[in-house]
């Protein structure tokens, strides 16, 4: 499953905070806090973590849509476009818009923000093309839509249906199909399988994999569902309290999770034939507006020691492609998940 490729999107020390005015008092929510990523072309990169850890905000920043109250406080985002690296945060609003139209697409949570309930699916395709490639004729759009629908194995008559005539899973597939229509080099998916039952979820995952295989592009996928990551991702970044705390190949994360938080996430998954009680992460995530000093996981961590309460650890690299931010790595004080 692992592949050798070039970096297509990277961030340097990215900080994106919500700055809120609470009756004259400023409240700062540190949703994305010093994140360094290097995402490769031709890979599916999963971002995992509990609700409220900053995953969706990180996606917004990577998609380069940072609007008040969200602010880019620091750091840079780079896309590699036509063999050149472009620092996207410094582009003009029009340049950013063009890049989003031509280069990168976004699959939102749920389909109804994409599909207009009073338009047939074919009209949503026409609207989409009209906003992205206005010079393309209706006839060409319909040919493109028909071709894509056949290639992705969607029902041929779907173009004449209204969204409410489709199941939730089918609407989500259409949403993903639309986001892939113009062959973007990067697709960003925000919980695209949430609220779907497992059978439908499997179909959506298969479709994402098929699109990535066909386009040889990059998919960045956020979900809290580790089972989805196990099925679809080549590499996974584990996010906690606005930070990436562990990153590795999917095999490294599942076979050798090293950060105590990752170990809890993996241990809480049901295992075939194992009737032992699953252990969930103790306590609850910290408020991003009031983070604890030091390692933000220390109030929940069973291995906390003094230094954890004082300062945030940097990354250790226990293996090629595997990095972990934990003071205990290498000291043998906590074992791997079993």
Which positions touch ligand SF4 (CB under 6 A)?
Answer: 259-260, 295, 297-298, 301, 303-304, 308, 313, 326-328
At its nearest, how many Å lie between ligand SF4 and the CB of residue 304?
Answer: 4
Ordered alpha helix ranges (H), 103-167? 121-132, 138-151
At its nearest, how many Å lie between ligand SF4 and the CB of residue 307?
Answer: 7
Give the contacts of 18 (CB within 8 A, at least 6 positions apart).
28, 29, 31, 57, 69, 70, 71
Q: Which is nearer to ligand SF4, 3 or 307 (by Cβ)?
A: 307
Cis upstream peptide for 92 (omega within 30°)? no
Q: Which is nearer to ligand SF4, 187 or 312 (by Cβ)?
A: 312
Q: Which is nearer to ligand SF4, 95 or 310 (by Cβ)?
A: 310
Q: Which is nearer to ligand SF4, 5 or 311 (by Cβ)?
A: 311
In the chain, the N- to C-terminal Cα span, in Å, equals 23
At its nearest, how many Å lie between ligand SF4 and the CB of residue 264?
Answer: 10
At its nearest, how many Å lie between ligand SF4 and the CB of residue 34?
Answer: 15
Distance, in Å, from the CA atom of 222 to the CA atom of 225, rounded to the nearest integer, reads: 9
Distance, in Å, from the CA atom of 201 to the CA atom of 84, rounded to the nearest integer, reads: 36
Q: Which is nearer to ligand SF4, 15 or 259 (by Cβ)?
A: 259
At its nearest, how many Å lie between ligand SF4 and the CB of residue 314?
Answer: 11
In the sheet that holds 322-324, the strands lie side by side as: 104-107, 186-190, 218-222, 44-48, 235-240, 243-249, 322-324, 316-319
What does each C-alpha distance from 168 to 16, 73, 123, 126 come to in angstroms?
Answer: 32, 37, 19, 21
Q: Which is nearer to ligand SF4, 303 or 315 (by Cβ)?
A: 303
Q: Which is nearer to ligand SF4, 168 or 299 (by Cβ)?
A: 299
Q: Is 70 helix (H, G, I), strand (E, B) or coil?
A: strand
Q: Beta strands of the chain (E only): which ranges? A: 7-22, 25-40, 44-48, 70-81, 84-87, 104-107, 186-190, 218-222, 235-240, 243-249, 316-319, 322-324
List of long-range contacts for 298-304, beta carbons under 8 Å, 24+ apart: 300/261, 301/260, 301/261, 302/260, 302/334, 303/260, 303/328, 303/333, 303/334
Q: Which is nearer to ligand SF4, 74 or 330 (by Cβ)?
A: 330
At its nearest, how many Å lie between ligand SF4 and the CB of residue 141?
Answer: 51
Q: Name the helix (H) or strand (E) containing 120.
A: none
At its nearest, how many Å lie between ligand SF4 and the CB of residue 293?
Answer: 11
At its nearest, how many Å lie between ligand SF4 and the CB of residue 326?
Answer: 3
């Amino acid at each position: 499953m692992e592949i050798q490729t070039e970096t297509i999107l990277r961030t340097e020390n990215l900080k994106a905070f919500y700055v809120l005015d609470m009756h004259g008092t400023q409240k700062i929510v540190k949703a994305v806090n010093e994140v360094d990523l290097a995402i490769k072309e031709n890979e599916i990169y999963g971002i995992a973590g509990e609700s409220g850890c900053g995953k969706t905000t990180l996606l917004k920043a990577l998609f380069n849509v940072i609007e008040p109250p969200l602010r880019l406080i620091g750091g840079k985002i780079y896309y590699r476009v036509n063999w050149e690296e472009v620092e996207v945060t410094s582009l003009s609003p029009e340049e950013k818009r063009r890049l989003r139209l031509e280069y990168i697409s976004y699959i939102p949570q749920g389909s109804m923000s994409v599909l207009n309930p009073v338009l047939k699916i074919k009209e949503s395709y026409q609207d989409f093309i009209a906003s992205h490639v206005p010079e393309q004729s209706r006839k060409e759009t319909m040919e493109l839509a028909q071709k894509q629908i056949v290639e992705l194995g969607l029902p041929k008559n779907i173009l004449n249906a209204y969204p409410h005539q489709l199941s939730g899973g089918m609407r989500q597939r259409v949403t993903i199909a639309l986001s892939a229509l113009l062959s973007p080099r990067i697709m960003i998916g925000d919980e695209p399988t949430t609220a779907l039952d497992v059978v439908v979820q499997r179909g959506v995952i298969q479709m994402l994999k098929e699109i990535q295989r066909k386009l040889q592009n990059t998919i960045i996928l956020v979900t809290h569902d580790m089972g989805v990551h196990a099925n679809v991702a080549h590499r996974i970044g584990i996010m906690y309290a606005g930070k990436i705390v562990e990153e590795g190949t999917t095999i490294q994360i599942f076979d050798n999770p090293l950060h105590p938080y990752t170990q809890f996430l993996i241990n809480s998954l049901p295992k075939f034939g194992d009737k032992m009680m699953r252990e969930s992460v103790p306590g609850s995530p910290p408020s991003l507006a009031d983070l604890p000093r030091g390692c933000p996981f220390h109030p929940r961590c069973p291995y906390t020691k003094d230094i954890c309460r004082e300062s945030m650890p940097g990354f250790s690299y226990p293996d090629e492609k595997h990095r972990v931010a934990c003071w205990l790595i290498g000291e043998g004080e906590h074992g791997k998940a079993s």
